[in-house]
Amino acid sequence: MPYHVRITTKSAPYDEVGLDLTEEELQERILQPYRDGNSIVIGGRTISADDFARIRINYTDESSEQLLPLVKAERRKNTIYSGPPGASEVAKRGRDVTDQSSRVQRGPPLAPKPRRVSERPSIQERCSLCTGGTPKFATRSSAS
């Protein structure tokens, strides 16, 4: 009786998918890191905490191995579809349990990230640093 997870990120046009997770795997690999504001590794990809857009969790009585032939058969009946059936379609099966209890509640907001050394200060910051706090701009004299 597995859980299937779809994680939508801000940086990718497709969902990352985890299939056939037990309750323990779901908690340890997905939900606890998410609640703690840590990165998650899913489908061979590391998703940073600030890249999360949405997490969806479905529960099925069948494994993904049992569901894939059903998905394929349903797709053959449809006249319009794009691409082969895959993990994402299997993960959409079953009962959506994302909002059950406080399963996916996120912890406190992350502290702001310090500015990287490679980031340049704004023009106002640069001017105030050179002039002792008050920006001063040189003007051209209009002497001809």
Domain that holds residue 84: 3-111
Query: What pLDDT is stored for residue 130 in this prediction?
Result: 54
Answer whether residue 118 is part of any domain: no
Query: What pLDDT is stored for residue 134 in this prediction?
Result: 53
Query: What pLDDT is stored for residue 109 in this prediction?
Result: 45
Instruction: Chunk the chain into consecutive blocks of 10 residues (it has 144) and report each block's average pLDDT, rounded to whole numbers.
Output: 90 91 92 91 91 92 90 75 71 87 50 52 57 51 50
Whole-model pTM: value is 0.64
Query: What pLDDT is stored for residue 106 in this prediction?
Result: 58
Nearest to 101 by CA among 47, 36, 35, 51: 35
Query: What is the helix (H) or strand (E) element at residue 72, kind and residue range?
Result: helix 64-77
Query: What pLDDT is stored for residue 91 in this prediction?
Result: 87
In total, how many domains does the chain have?
Answer: 1
Answer whether residue 123 is part of any domain: no
Answer whether residue 32 is part of any domain: yes
Answer whether residue 20 is part of any domain: yes
* Dist. CA 4–CA 23, nearest whole Å: 10
Answer whether residue 98 is part of any domain: yes
